[in-house]
Amino acid sequence: MFASRPTVGICAGLAEASWGVWRQPAVLLPLNYFTAIQRAGGFALMIPPDPELAEAPDQVLERLDGLILPGGVDIDPATYGAEAHAQTVGAVLERDLTEIALVRRALEVDLPVLGICRGMQLINVALGGTLLQHVPDEVGHPQHRRTPGSFEDSDHDVRLTSGSLAARVVGEEIHGTKSHHHQAVAEIGEGLEVTGWSSIDDLPEAIEARERRFALGVQWHPEADDTSRLIEALVDEARSYRSSRMARGDP
């Protein structure tokens, strides 16, 4: 029944979009995120940028059993005290501030959280970390985003720490992933631990807060991989969170 499905909030971006005869600013997310949540038995609730949520995130978090921070445009460097690189484009500060507030509060109340690509970077920034603004400048190659706008030929392996949440979820310590990013975590945020590294160049590709019930960021895109269990694992943890909340008599 609908009432038994865990509600998973997923943050959305702002972008120009076209449909029918219209071209207008829109709140936007790829369909495969929703498909993955629904396939795992969750109810997906899209969360747009909202200045009020940046001040009072409980307005939506109280309605959620889990939170996903998806991929998207670059994060505004002002959020981590840096000047913008020439390759840092598309940032929407309103979105960044909303999501930073949501993540910080979600971790405080131990809501299950999964960050995907940009979402991993956002978790790191929210907890005081910084970013590499253009990875090719740091590692000397473009292999983390081989074909902009496509996951074709995007696969590479990630090495995961034994016993980490990431390794437990995927069921292995060498995990094949689909990659599409040009930024990455640099200085690690407070309370976070790097538990995954790219096989290409040892770039950090998984971070987690081990003191939380489920707080994981991955640099790859599980929504683009039908064999991935990551989003299913988040929904399963959200279901457990919902059950414990209902047992306490919370609404």
pLDDT in tens, 183-226: 999 999 999 999 999 999 999 999 999 999 999 999 999 999 99
pLDDT value at position 62? 96
pLDDT at res. 47: 98
CA distance 26 to 28: 6
Q: What is the pLDDT of residue 102?
A: 98
Number of domains in the chain: 1
Q: What is the pLDDT of residue 202?
A: 93
Class of residue 175 by CB neighbours under 10 A (exposed 0-12, middle 13-18, buried 19+): buried
What's the pLDDT at 149? 82
- Low-confidence spans in the chain with pLDDT less than 50: 1
* Residues with a known catalytic role: 117, 221, 223
One-letter amino acid of 212: R
pLDDT of residue 1: 41
pLDDT of residue 73: 95
CATH code of 59's domain:
3.40.50.880
Handedness of CA 232, 31, 48, 5 (dihedral sign): negative
Q: By residue range, what is the domain housing residue 163?
A: 2-16+23-247
